[in-house]
Amino acid sequence: LAWLRSTGVDGLGLGDVKLAAALGSLLGPQAILWTVAAAALLGAGLALAPRTITDPRQDPGDRARLPYGACLAAVGWVALVMIRR
């Protein structure tokens, strides 16, 4: 809500929220917090990795965007596999 009010652009789509809610119902309250945090770290790492390789003079708008839902799905799948063991 804060991002929406400050920029006028939705920062988190409802698909991400629904995925997080579904994972939360399967993982539980404590595990979903770790999952969301790990997904954010994974997304940050994947977003920053090309910046260390590419030309720093390149326009940041030219780079591909990484959806948060992809990172959340990957980390959520790993969390579900680890918890079910």
Q: What is the pTM of this model?
A: 0.72
Confidence band for 76, pLDDT divided at 50, 70 and 90: very high
What pLDDT score was predicted for residue 18?
92
- Cβ atoms of 45 and 38 within 8 Å: the answer is no
In sign, the C-alpha dihedral spanning 21, 25, 30, 36 is negative
| Average of per-residue pLDDT across 52-73 | 72
